Amino acid sequence: MNQHMQLEPIPFIDIAAQRRRLGKSIDDAVARVLDHCQFINGPEVTALEKALADYSGAKHVVSCASGTDALLMVLMAKNVGPGDAVLCPTFTFCATGEVVTLTGATPVFVDVDKETFNIDVNSLKRGIATARARGLKPVA
């Protein structure tokens, strides 16, 4: 690289520009929610879920408060619970294992491929064997 070349930094996120562009609509939306005080499953949530269903073509959409809740909802929908093992990648956020324990199931961590960061197939096979050896049923 040319040592004499001066590069101007490129802002990663320009929050001030976002605020200028979106500020009034965000303020108005917050004011509407504060006016009707329906903080959980209010009309804005219903509208969002309908818009997402229309956009995606899904029959139903259920929104949630966090990615942790989203992971937990999937495991609950699949009736994951005590006696089950859920194979989790080691390269992940702590919520991945946390939600498994919230269902009563047991997380079994498996390595990821260093090139792709996807679950390593051989480690997955070992994880399944470990789960079965501990009397657990691998389900996810």
pLDDT of residue 3: 65
Q: Residue 69 corresponds to which tokens in the numbers above?
A: 């809740």
pLDDT band at 5 (very low <50, low <70, confident <90, very high): confident
Whether 98 shows a pLDDT value over 90: the answer reads yes
pTM of the model: 0.72
Can you tell me which residue has the tokens 């389900």? 139
DSSP-assigned letter for residue 40: S
pLDDT of residue 10: 77
Return mean pLDDT, the chain: 94
Domain ranges of the chain: 15-56, 67-138
Question: How far are the Cα atoms of 22, 50, 76, 89 from residue 59, in angstroms, in the given order?
Answer: 30, 9, 19, 30
Burial 55-73 (b: 16+ CB within 10 A, else e): eeeeeeeeeeeeebeebbe
pLDDT of residue 12: 83
8 A C-beta contact, residue 103 and residue 75? yes
8 A C-beta contact, residue 79 and residue 140? no
pLDDT of residue 2: 56
pLDDT band at 9 (very low <50, low <70, confident <90, very high): confident
